[in-house]
Amino acid sequence: MLSRFKGCLVGAVVGDCIGAIYEGHYAKIQTSLIIEKLKKLDKARENLKEDDEKPLSYTDDTAMTQSVALSLIQKGSFDAADMAKRFAEKFFKEPNRGYGGNIYKVFQELEDIDPEDVFKPAAKQFNGSGSYGNGGAMRISPAPLFAFHANNDTKLQELVTSITRLTHTHHLAIHGAILVAHAIDQSLRCDTEVDVNKFIDDLITKLKPLEEKYVASSVDEPPTKKSVKRSLDEEETPYCAKLARMKEMLQDESLQKSTIIHDLGHDVAAVSSVPAAVLSFLIATRKIPKLKDLNQFEQTIIYAISLGGDTDTIATMAGAMAGALYGIESIPETWRACCESVNKAEKMAEDLFNLNNRSALS
């Protein structure tokens, strides 16, 4: 299990660093080009003088994941004020890590806020609707590790909701982070021969009550029936609709990337990137014929990036799931050596593992 904990956090860093090369390439990317690029980077690394000099830097995805992990480790429980302070401090220290376009407003307010008010700045974003960006989902990997021992879906969902609400209060951002956390949790617990239909059904079982509860509490008018087929984003329960669509996609031997991008999305909204990460992870559990020379962790990352769009974030989320399933040994030494901050991630995974041995959250 220690190998899976390490695989999860290191997989997330590697996905972020490699994915960042292509962030914002809005067309799909040929997998052979990504593989070629990685070989060149590894050659370049051999010529670097300093041991800690890395050709690939991490982005906001990893910066915020580190804050989540360190806060949970050092406080031993969720401490909203501490985590919020870490987010803001890290941002002001290194604002050029590729943060989302509007989140800086939350950090500005968090900088010297009263501890009781730490959830308020996020709630004010976008005229009070809160951000639906994937900034909550992209940083959530330490939560399922921290809550692993408790093995309680409700506790995991509460923890993820609290961590996400510090910057993202929109229900789609929160449900997206919960979906990633459950996918990692299921990956940690399941056999490497994954039954993809069961994996998806289990996710639907966990997400459905949350999405339905939101619909029931929503004061919005129900969406009007349209004669054209509605986009899955407009479904009342979009995550469950996309999970159901994934089951069909996984049966389709001639599945095209353009169909995935069209039906699931690949952009900065949580609802248009979390499903693409889950699908990339699940596709690679069955081995991708075009990538048959790579192991399944490598296949996950290369496939996730090849969808284009928000590549660092889709790859970091898929990498966390794949690392949690296949373990640290599946992440190539050469990839780890190219990416900044891998050692830190490994140490944090070890600390979270040791915390679990002391019955965290139970």
Give binding residues as ranges: 59-61, 310, 312-313
Degrees to nearest 5, angle at CA 231 with 262 and 175: 90
Partners of 269 in the beta sheet?
133
Round to whole Å and give the CA distance between 302 and 33: 10
Residue 61 interacts with Mg ion (CB under 5 A)?
A: yes
Half-sphere exposure in the Cβ direction for 283 (13 Å, CA)? 33
Query: Does residue 59 bind ligand R7I (CB under 6 A)?
Result: yes
Helix (H, G, I), strand (E, B) or coil at 249: helix
Answer with the entry of Mg ion, ligand R7I, none that 214 interacts with (C-beta below 5 to 8 A by kind).
none
Structure tokens at 21: 């090369």
Assess 340 for contact with ligand R7I (CB under 6 A).
no
Site track 87-126 with ligand R7I (rule: CB under 6 A), x = hit: -----------xxxxxx----------------------x
Q: Which of 59, 141, 186, 237 binds Mg ion (CB under 5 A)?
A: 59
* Residues 6 or more apart in contact with residue 154 via CB below 8 angstroms: none
135 binds ligand R7I, rule: CB under 6 A: yes
Report d(CA 177, CA 149) in Å as an integer: 19
Asked whether 110 and 286 are in contact (CB, 8 A), the reply is no
> Residue positions in the annotated binding site for Mg(2+)?
59-61, 310, 312-313
Of the residues 202, 312, 346, 351, which one makes contact with ligand R7I according to CB under 6 A: 312
Task: Work out the widest C-alpha separation in the chain, in whole angstroms.
Answer: 62
Q: Does 67 bind ligand R7I (CB under 6 A)?
A: no
Nearer to ligand R7I, 101 or 289 (CB): 101
346 interacts with Mg ion by CB under 5 A: no
- Give the pair of three-digit tokens for residue 37: 């690029």
Cα distances from 158 to residues 10, 212, 285, in angstroms, run 25, 17, 29
61 versus 202: smaller Cβ distance to Mg ion: 61
Residue 310 is a binding residue for Mg ion (CB under 5 A) = yes
By beta-carbon proximity to ligand R7I, the closer residue of 87 and 199 is: 87
Q: Which does 103 bind (CB under 5 to 8 A by kind): ligand R7I, Mg ion, none?
A: ligand R7I
Footprint of ligand R7I (CB under 6 A): 59-61, 98-103, 126, 129, 131-135, 138, 170, 268, 310, 312-313
